Amino acid sequence: MINNKNIFVACDTSNLKKIKNIIAETKSKKLKIIPKFGLQFFYSKNGRKYLETFKKDFWLDLKINDIPQTALSAINSLKDLKRCKFITAHANGGLIMLKAVKKEAKKINKNLKVLVVTVLTSLNNKSLKDIGHTKSVRNIVLKQVELIRKSGCDGVVCSAQEAKLIRKKHKNLFIVTPGIRLPNDKLNDQVRVMTPQNAFKNKVSGIVIGRSITKGNIKMNVKRLINHLSK
Residues identified as active-site: 63
Cα separation of 172 and 58, whole Å?
A: 22
Q: How many CB atoms lie within 10 A of CB 33?
A: 20
> CA dist 105 to 34, 109, 111, 152, Å?
19, 6, 9, 12
- Give the DSSP H or E segment for 33: strand 32-37
At 4, is the secondary structure helix, strand, or coil? Answer: coil
